[in-house]
Chains A and B, each alone.
Chain A
Amino acid sequence: MLRVEGPTRFVFAFLSMPKIRHVAWLLALATGCWLVLLLGTLSQGRSVLGLPPDWPRWLLLLAQGGFAASIFLYARLQPDALSGHGFLPLLRRLFWRGLVLTALLAGTQAFVKLTAEHTLPLPGDATAAAGYTVSLALFIILLAQTLYVWRSLVNFRGSDRLQREWTAFELILGAALLFQLFVWHVPDYLLVAVVVGLGLFGVYLSGHQRWVAYLSQGQKLQAIMLQLGVLGCLSAFLYVLRGAQSDPALLAPPTQQAFLVLTSSFAVFYAVAGLLVTLFNLPVADVYEQRRAEILSLQQLSQIIQRGQTAPEIYQALFTSAVQTIRADAAWLDAQLQPTEQLGPLPASLIHELIPSDLSALREQLTDLLAPQQRELIDNDLLRSQRLTGLSQPYGSAAVLQLRSSTHDYGLLVLLKKEQSGFDPEDLSILHTFTTQTVLSLENLQLAQEARASQRAQDELRIAALVQERLIPKHLPTDNWFEISTYAQAAKEVGGDFYDFLHLPGQRLAVLIGDVSGKGVTAAFHTAQMKGIFHALMQPNPLAKKDRERYPDPHRFMVLANEALTHCLERSSFITASFYLIDYEAGGFSFARAGHCHTLYYHSIKEEVSYFRSEGLGLGILRDASYGRHVKNQFWDYNPGDVMVIYTDGIPEARNANGDEYGEDRLAKMLGESFYQSAEEINRHIRLDVQEFSKGLPLHDDQTLLVIKFKSAQPQG
């Protein structure tokens, strides 16, 4: 595409047309001009189709110039042949086109020769003139094709300045078309000087052979062959046209000598220069410099990663490397797409030559532009695609890359260049290396942080296990009128089971069992709290008139405990508990259940195993006075030989390999099988059965099992 500095309103108006209309106009113009040229050539020295003979020279030159201009403009409007393709396919395509054109040329020449030898009944000189016009047209087409392939190669990784120089070169070529039209009497030496000067400009441009540095050894060989092929085609045309011009039989029309000489010498020279550079690996200094910069950036990036730096440093390294290596005019790295705790604080945005309003404009348009699964977007012609508009400065090309692993979005890198076709496949592959490296290191960093966090969690668990271990009563109350056996097993992750006993004066025994929701340190903490509440509430009240009223009854105990917990339990936590106050003198016990598992009981007179099914809400669920209505005090008269089994939900909810739960029924059955034994033996019988049930599986939850058996003996002392 013409750059904006390409002047005149006409050009501007032309450029603002849709591309398809350009092409149609240009092809129509080319065909028209060629027909004029053909007729004019045929009319040399004779009258054709009743038209006057010997057309003026300027008309022929104009027709020829118009044809050349429209063919060149047409080639110019084709999308940059290099973007998205390699160098070799580009050269190969040029070579094949050249070959086809040369074949057409050969066909034309053969036809002319046949008519000249009178094998065909056609006027020989007219065919020669027509053949010459066709050959000239083919040559101009070949030159246009070659020139615009060379343009892609010259501008490959070229600077903004180089692009301007190229445009100037094109304008000069355009001016050369007008040269012979208006300047009639120029001294020869001046003409030569101008042509040589322009030729030198072409030589200078031919020095831009950066692309050669990106070829592998095998590709170089192919490139040489292809360039030789292109040179061959060009030489074939030059040979034929030179011969035709000096052919006395042909009344050759004047040619656009300056333009053709200039263009073809540039075309040939660029091919030759490329050939030499490829053959001898002539150093093209800044190419190697650029390659070195890429390698250095990559090294820096990996060093930063090895040193185990922070996420902001990794992002900064990527950003700097990308901007410098690609020579972006503006850039933006948005790291805050999906912040993670493990990576710590992230830089809000890394910005190069952009203002805040640009960022919001980019952000808005990129969300629409990038499909969720799309990893990158290259737009080498923003002016035409009308993407990323509304920025404070006009940009010609953009590359957008997502920093993404299979699981995580680490950010978005946007690079902008003022020139069009700023990003070639090599740039993209470098950027890919950068972003892949960055994503890898961010992922590593995240893994390292997670490992550290899990170490901390393990330490916490150890502390919690220690706390819980210390909270388990070490000395069981003993007396003649009851037996107690306990079993407690913590699951791998510390749970919140707890139990405690207190021997009260007057042959009374307080028993508390419970389970704190949640696991780990918090659970251990609440367990300790619950133990504190238990011992605080079990202090004798000196104001109580009757001995029995010195201690709170189970209902009152739960209400007070609930109130105490209201202030220290987080909203989603709760505690289940059962509290028993056993009185030997009264031969009975009172108890309250706060959401805890039902008590299993063996009734020795009825010879029956059953659960005390009663209502009762867990602690910490209702945090106001209404809680009292949801918990009940119950009484039971026991008989010697009765057995009470108190446990936490880890027992009935123990699982086997099929995922089935142990269940209350099986628990009751176990008591039915063992009630006549000692408390310790009953406990073991149940415990072994639970272990058998979930054999080989890790403990799902804490298990606590208390067995209390009432005996007929008198209390001691």
Chain B
Amino acid sequence: MGPIMKVTAQPADTTLTLVLDGELDASSAVVLDTELNKPELLKYKKVLIDCQRLSYISSAGLGVFISHLQRLQDSNVKLVFFNMQEKVFNVFEILGLDSLMTIVPTEQEALAA
């Protein structure tokens, strides 16, 4: 079992911020998947992912975002990542996800995106 990752949901009017804390690997991916699977997620215009405390992401973790990408797009929910550590950003970049997903440095930019 890897270290447990914590997902905290902070709902606002039109945006939902999910704060990730820990390592997102195969075992913790389930937690995030449950959160992203909630039907009420589609009510929001934007889902922001705060990655400040996300220290590692494995392919299973990426898989969670990838599997929800289409569904969110189809429902016009924008997925925006912010505060991403360089190491984690590299993983997104190598896989080419930076061309598909919106990844911005700060929360302000994420709200404006």
Residues of A within 8 A of B (CB): 515, 517-519, 571-574, 576, 594-598, 615-618, 621-623, 630-631, 649, 661
**Bound state CA distance, A616 and B63, in angstroms?**
17
- Give, as a whole number of angstroms, the nearest-CB distance from B79 to chain A: 13
- Give, as a whole number of angstroms, the nearest-CB distance from B31 to chain A: 14
> Which one of B7-15, B39-47, B90-98, B105-113 contacts A?
B90-98
**Bound state CA distance, A576 and B99, in angstroms?**
15
User: Is B60 in the interface zone, CB < 8 Å from A?
Assistant: yes
Known contacts A571-B70, A597-B94, A615-B99; 9 further A-B pairs (Cβ under 8 A): A518-B26, A572-B66, A572-B67, A574-B59, A598-B94, A615-B96, A618-B95, A621-B100, A630-B100
User: Which of B4-36 touch A at CB < 8 Å?
Assistant: 26, 33
- Give, as a whole number of angstroms, the nearest-CB distance from A570 to chain B: 8
Is the CB–CB distance between B100 and A622 below 8 Å? yes
Residues of chain B lying within 8 A (CB to CB) of residue A597 = 94
Give the residue name and chain of the A residue nearest to B95 (CB): A595
**Bound state CA distance, A622 and B96, in angstroms?**
11
User: Is B104 in the interface zone, CB < 8 Å from A?
Assistant: no
Residues of chain B lying within 8 A (CB to CB) of residue A598 = 94
Is the CB–CB distance between A574 and B99 below 8 Å? no
Residues of chain A lying within 8 A (CB to CB) of residue B59 = 515, 517-518, 574
| Binary interface encoding of chain B residues 66-80 relative to chain A, with 1 for a CB under 8 A from any of its CBs, else 0 | 110110000000000
Residues of chain B lying within 8 A (CB to CB) of residue A622 = 100
Is the CB–CB distance between A595 and B63 below 8 Å? no
Residues of chain A lying within 8 A (CB to CB) of residue B51 = none
Would you give 19 A-B contacts (Cβ < 8 Å), ordered by A?
A515-B59, A517-B59, A517-B62, A517-B63, A518-B59, A518-B63, A574-B95, A576-B94, A615-B99, A616-B96, A617-B96, A617-B99, A618-B95, A618-B96, A621-B96, A621-B100, A622-B100, A623-B70, A631-B96
Known contacts: A594-B96, A597-B94, A615-B96. The answer to whether A574 contacts B62 by CB under 8 A is: yes
- Give, as a whole number of angstroms, the nearest-CB distance from A2 to chain B: 55
**Bound state CA distance, A618 and B59, in angstroms?**
11
User: Is B64 in the interface zone, CB < 8 Å from A?
Assistant: yes
Is the CB–CB distance between A630 and B63 below 8 Å? no
Residues of chain B lying within 8 A (CB to CB) of residue A596 = 94
- Give, as a whole number of angstroms, the nearest-CB distance from B60 to chain A: 6
Is the CB–CB distance between B63 and A574 below 8 Å? yes
Give the residue name and chain of the B residue nearest to A624 (CB): B70
- Give, as a whole number of angstroms, the nearest-CB distance from B109 to chain A: 22
- Give, as a whole number of angstroms, the nearest-CB distance from A579 to chain B: 15
Is the CB–CB distance between A518 and B60 below 8 Å? yes
**Bound state CA distance, A576 and B92, in angstroms?**
12
**Bound state CA distance, A630 and B93, in angstroms?**
12
Is the CB–CB distance between B87 and A617 below 8 Å? no
**Bound state CA distance, A692 and B99, in angstroms?**
36
Is the CB–CB distance between A572 and B64 below 8 Å? yes
Residues of chain A lying within 8 A (CB to CB) of residue B60 = 517-518, 572
- Please provide the 8 A-B residue pairs with the shortest distance between their CB atoms, ordered closest to farther: A617-B96, A517-B59, A572-B67, A572-B63, A595-B95, A571-B67, A618-B95, A595-B96
**Bound state CA distance, A597 and B69, in angstroms?**
23
Among B59, B69, B87, B94, chain A packs the most CB atoms within 10 A around the CB of B59
Residues of chain B lying within 8 A (CB to CB) of residue A630 = 96, 99-100
Residues of chain B lying within 8 A (CB to CB) of residue A574 = 59, 62-63, 66, 95
**Bound state CA distance, A363 and B65, in angstroms?**
39
Q: Which of B33, B63, B67, B100 contacts A617 (CB 8 A)?
A: B100
**Bound state CA distance, A318 and B23, in angstroms?**
43
- Give, as a whole number of angstroms, the nearest-CB distance from B100 to chain A: 7
**Bound state CA distance, A649 and B95, in angstroms?**
11
Residues of chain A lying within 8 A (CB to CB) of residue B64 = 572
- Give, as a whole number of angstroms, the nearest-CB distance from A651 to chain B: 13
**Bound state CA distance, A597 and B90, in angstroms?**
10
Residues of chain B lying within 8 A (CB to CB) of residue A519 = 26
- Give, as a whole number of angstroms, the nearest-CB distance from B68 to chain A: 9
Residues of chain B lying within 8 A (CB to CB) of residue A576 = 94-95
Residues of chain B lying within 8 A (CB to CB) of residue A571 = 66-67, 70
Is the CB–CB distance between A617 and B97 below 8 Å? yes
**Bound state CA distance, A661 and B58, in angstroms?**
13
**Bound state CA distance, A598 and B70, in angstroms?**
27
- Give, as a whole number of angstroms, the nearest-CB distance from A559 to chain B: 14
Residues of chain B lying within 8 A (CB to CB) of residue A616 = 96
- Give, as a whole number of angstroms, the nearest-CB distance from A593 to chain B: 8
- Give, as a whole number of angstroms, the nearest-CB distance from A597 to chain B: 6
- Give, as a whole number of angstroms, the nearest-CB distance from B93 to chain A: 9
**Bound state CA distance, A595 and B63, in angstroms?**
13
Residues of chain A lying within 8 A (CB to CB) of residue B94 = 576, 595-598, 649
Give the residue name and chain of the B residue nearest to A617 (CB): B96
Give the residue name and chain of the A residue nearest to B33 (CB): A572
**Bound state CA distance, A205 and B66, in angstroms?**
78
- Give, as a whole number of angstroms, the nearest-CB distance from B57 to chain A: 11
Known contacts: A595-B94, A661-B87. The answer to whether A573 contacts B63 by CB under 8 A is: yes
- Give, as a whole number of angstroms, the nearest-CB distance from A115 to chain B: 84
Residues of chain A lying within 8 A (CB to CB) of residue B99 = 615, 617, 630
Residues of chain A lying within 8 A (CB to CB) of residue B62 = 517, 574
Is the CB–CB distance between B66 and A621 below 8 Å? yes
Give the residue name and chain of the A residue nearest to B69 (CB): A621
Residues of chain A lying within 8 A (CB to CB) of residue B67 = 571-572
**Bound state CA distance, A621 and B73, in angstroms?**
13
Residues of chain B lying within 8 A (CB to CB) of residue A617 = 95-97, 99-100
Residues of chain B lying within 8 A (CB to CB) of residue A518 = 26, 59-60, 63
Residues of chain B lying within 8 A (CB to CB) of residue A661 = 87
Give the residue name and chain of the B residue nearest to A493 (CB): B26
**Bound state CA distance, A598 and B96, in angstroms?**
11
**Bound state CA distance, A622 and B62, in angstroms?**
13
Residues of chain B lying within 8 A (CB to CB) of residue A649 = 94
